[in-house]
Amino acid sequence: MGDLEDLLQTVAKKAQKEVQSRLGGFFGAMVRHYLPQTWVFVTEQGTASLHVDAAGAVAVHPGAMRAPDVTVDVELARLRAALTGPHLPAERPQDLRVTTHSAKGKAAFGLLRERLGL
């Protein structure tokens, strides 16, 4: 596994716990509306995808999955800092390029941008 996939595996473990905990209860229907969701991350060291299925299971796949909801293109070091460090708006990656491919991807990215440090 490459550095990007390792980073996304770490993110996936945390994300799965959180997503699955939010699928129950009153707000669960709102969260389910955004699933499944696929994000493709493109860095100078490679490409990998993070996919959340309808049950909240999160998986990392090498390369770009078909029909992504969001594509994030950024340097690996900047992505690592954003996903693992403190999330201060002033420290967001300046060279970040995000393409949303679906309405649910655009909405999810809008909701998660600050939280992910992107």
CATH code, 77: 3.30.1050.10
**Helix axis angle, 76-84 relative to 3-22, nearest 10°?**
30
User: Which structural domain, as residue segments, surrounds residue 62?
Assistant: 3-116
Confidence band of 115 (pLDDT split at 50, 70, 90): confident
- Does pLDDT of 12 surpass 70? yes
What is d(CA 50, CA 5) in angstroms, rounded to the nearest whole number? 9
Q: Which residues is 42 bridged to in the sheet?
A: 47, 73
Compute CA 5 distance to the chain's CA centroid, rounded to the nearest angstrom: 12
For the entire predicted model, the pTM comes to: 0.90
Domains contained in the chain, number: 1
3 state DSSP class of 36: coil
Let me know: does 71 contact 105? Beta carbons within 8 Å: no
Higher-scoring residue by pLDDT: 88, 48:
48
- Residue 111 predicted with pLDDT over 90: no
For 26, half-sphere exposure in the C-beta direction (CA atoms, 13 angstrom radius) is 0
Q: Are 114 and 87 in contact (CB under 8 A)?
A: yes
- Alpha-carbon distance of 35 to 54, in angstroms, equals 5
Q: Check: CB of residue 83 under 8 Å from CB of residue 11.
A: yes
CA 107 to chain centre: 13
pLDDT of residue 89 exceeding 60, the answer is: no
1, pLDDT greater than 60: no
